[in-house]
Structure 1
Amino acid sequence: MSRIGNKPIAIPGGVEVKVAGPTVSVKGPLGKLDWSVAPGIAVAVENGQIVVSRSSDDRRVRALHGLVRAELNNMVQGVTKGYEQSMEITGVGYKTQIQGRTMSFNVGYINPVTYQVPAGIDVKVDKQTIINIKGVDKRLVGQVAANLRAIKPPDVYKQKGVRYMGEVLRKKEGKTGK
Structure 2
Amino acid sequence: MSRIGKKKITIPDNIAIDIKSFEISIQGPKGKLSHFIPDFITLQNNTNTLQLQIKSKEKKLQALYGLYRSIINNMVIGVSQGFEKKLIINGVGYRCYLENNQLVLNLGYSHPIYIKTPQNISIKVENNTYISINGIDKQTVGEVAATIRSMRPPEPYKGKGIKYIDEIIKRKIGKAGK
* TM-score in terms of structure 1 length: 0.96
Contact 1:15 1:26 in 2 (8 A): yes
Residue 132 of structure 1 and its aligned partner are, at CA, apart by 0.6
1:4-23 superposed matches below 5 A? 4-23=4-23
- Secondary structure of the 1:104 match is strand
Residue 4 of structure 1 and its aligned partner are, at CA, apart by 1.6
Structure 1 runs not aligned, ≥5 long: none
The aligned counterpart of 2:28 is 28
The aligned counterpart of 1:108 is 108
The aligned counterpart of 2:54 is 54
- Give the aligned residue type for 2:50: I
- Give the aligned residue type for 1:102: Q
The aligned counterpart of 1:170 is 170
- Secondary structure of the 2:50 match is strand
Alpha-carbon distance in structure 1 between the residues aligned to 2:73 and 2:171: 38
Show CA shifts across 1:27-86 (max 9, x none).
000000111112311123123321101010011110011111111111111111111111
Contact 1:19 1:44 in 2 (8 A): no
- Give the aligned residue type for 2:96: T
- Give the aligned residue type for 1:164: Y
Count of residue correspondences: 178
The aligned counterpart of 1:77 is 77
Alpha-carbon distance in structure 2 between the residues aligned to 1:2 and 1:170: 35
- Give the aligned residue type for 1:158: K
Residue 174 of structure 1 and its aligned partner are, at CA, apart by 1.8
Contact 2:13 2:48 in 1 (8 A): no
The aligned counterpart of 1:120 is 120
Residue 101 of structure 1 and its aligned partner are, at CA, apart by 1.6
Contact 1:27 1:33 in 2 (8 A): yes
Structure 2 runs not aligned, ≥5 long: none
> Where do 4+ consecutive residues of structure 1 move more than 6 Å?
none
Residue 104 of structure 1 and its aligned partner are, at CA, apart by 0.7
- Secondary structure of the 2:167 match is coil
The aligned counterpart of 2:158 is 158
Alpha-carbon distance in structure 2 between the residues aligned to 1:100 and 1:121: 14
Q: Output the aligned Cα RMSD.
A: 1.0
Contact 1:95 1:106 in 2 (8 A): yes
Matched, 1:130 2:130: yes
